[in-house]
Amino acid sequence: MAKDAKDAKPVEEGAAEAPKKKSKKLLIIILAAVLVLVLAGGGAAYVLLKKTDHADDEESADETAAPAKKKKDGHEVPPVFVSLEPFTVNLIPETGDQYLQVVLSVELEDPLGEAAVKGQMPKIRNNITLLLSSKKASELLPKEGKERLAESLKDEINSVIEPPKKNKKGESVATEGPVKSVLFTSFIIQ
């Protein structure tokens, strides 16, 4: 029995060594797979970032072709957008009751104009509501009608912020206000 006990130990030790060899091989395979994935991900990131850098170069070339408005100190000033609350008004009836629901965004020349717009917001909303409710649906449906309306809204907002001044002859002269354009975010006629 003593021989059997001695013989049994080496067999058990050999059995224990076999799984260790398999686990080392498995570990090497897993590490190699992870390394391949990391390298593939790094290569993909490099390619994508390289394309983005190329696109940025094209954008900077476009910016040099058409320079944006600059301040006196030479820094570029991005436009400022102010979103207004939705307007819902009754239009002048043509074929029964018709409603206009519109959401506007106002593009300003500089950030200082935002405070002026927000400071005059009740008056601006009143004048816009009166202007919108004086329109017919047939005037607003074509693209040209919407463009004329946007221009009228721009003039109306600018006249609230910077009222027209009178010249020497007593005629009203519209001043250039901070509003560069009026953009329609939503435009629904029912």
pLDDT digits (tens, 9 = 90+) for 109-134: 888 889 989 999 999 999 999 999 99
Confidence check: pLDDT of 87 > 80: yes
Residue 152 burial (10 A CB sphere; 0-12, 13-18, 19+):
middle
- pLDDT band for 20, please (50, 70, 90 cuts): low
Check pLDDT > 60 for residue 183. yes
For every residue of 28-62, DSSP letters joined together read HHHHHHHHHHHHHHHHHHHHHHHHHHHHHHHHHHH
CB–CB of 99/189 below 8 Å?
yes
Regarding predicted confidence, which is higher, 75 or 41? 41
- When pLDDT is cut at 50, 70 and 90, the band that residue 164 belongs to is confident
Q: How far apart are CA 68 and CA 140, in angstroms?
A: 32
Q: Which residues pair with 172 in a beta bridge?
A: 166
Residue 145: CB partners within 8 Å, gap ≥ 6? Answer: 139
| pLDDT for 65 | 40
Flag whether the pTM goes above 0.95: no
Q: Report residue 102: phi and psi, to 5°.
A: -140, 140
Average pLDDT over every residue of 45-66? 58
pLDDT of 50: 76
Q: Is 90 helix (H, G, I), strand (E, B) or coil?
A: strand
Q: What is the mean pLDDT of the chain?
A: 80
**Run of H or E residues at 186:** strand 179-189
